Structure 1
Amino acid sequence: MEGSGTGLDRFIVLTGGPGSGKSTLIDRLEMLGYSRTEEAGRAIIQDQSAIGGRALPWADKDLFAELMLSWELRSHRAAAAQGPGPVFFDRGVVDVIGYLRLEGRPVPDHVHRAALRHRYHRRVFAAPPWPEIFRNDAERKQSVEEAERTYTAVTGAYEDYGYELVTLPKAPVEVRTRFLLDNIPLS
């Protein structure tokens, strides 16, 4: 597979369904001084809602996916421009493919090419569905069942693109943080 040639080993993706503790874990890593990206979906929903836009998962799924792809490509470029050290991604390009599959949409060639060209560390950390901590909010309107289907779609997409999935434990954020840091080479 192709790669961007820059930083692949230091680009660490966290994926999974909504409401499984990914963002909480990335927030903790940031508090510890690590670089991170922001989740595309939540930010796009906030922006589009604020301006009355239609790129929302409940209004125009294809446009929403295109904006997520653009966001993830920008995040990848910005991470490549940062100094040395790991960058933790709150989802990645392959999540867009998982989303499209979840919604029964075709994966356009340009999205496939983006996933091949913009690579991450071979280990992708997956936060499994965790109904006990799942909560809806203004941006998260999915049910627990849809969160579980999302998990299956995104983890399947990462496997299809050659990544090794490492399942995060359902444990307090401190335990998850230690587990993640113990399972990646930090240089």
Structure 2
Amino acid sequence: METGTGRPERYGLVAIILHWVIAVLILFMIGLGLYMDHVPLNDPTPLHQLHKSVGIVTMLLIVVRVLWRLTHRAPALPQDLSAGQRVVAGGMEGLLYLYQIILPVTGWLMVSAMAMPIVLFGLVSWPLIPLPQSVMDSGYLAEIMPDVHNWLAWTFGGFIVLHVLAALYHRFIRKDQVVDRILPRHGGGR
């Protein structure tokens, strides 16, 4: 069903499934990353391979989600939102998408710079990003990428908290239907 703006009232099933599957995977990755924070990167623990495996799967799903979003219109925001609120909402959406792409790529770049193999779930080898030999020899990229990846993860976590707070604001303070647009339907409605 569409609104008077030519936009749907809510996200479609594919967008909803992608949103929630990716959200669960990201929360899992954050928890695993925090747990692994005390494990050296060169430790052969299976947790590193699990983190890399889930990260690659999440990255691929995010690519699908971005392509889906580029080809399907998002539901309209409530008409009583101010221009500033619309800019903030659009900016936050853009930042969340950007971080969802940059974070796994920096992880991939980090393990590539360290020449650490990626074996998805212990079954399939995933290629490393080909880097010039001079970059590999210098070791500089391998040295800085863990900090870059970690910093991005922490800032992404902050944006996720803001995203959840905005959802709670819409649900419990504004009491509008913004959150309903991305929730799965069950039974006869909400």
The two structures have a TM-score, normalised by structure 1, of 0.30
Larger Rg: 2
Greater RCO, 1 or 2 (C-alpha within 8 Å, sep 6+): 1
Structure 1 or 2: more helix by fraction: 2
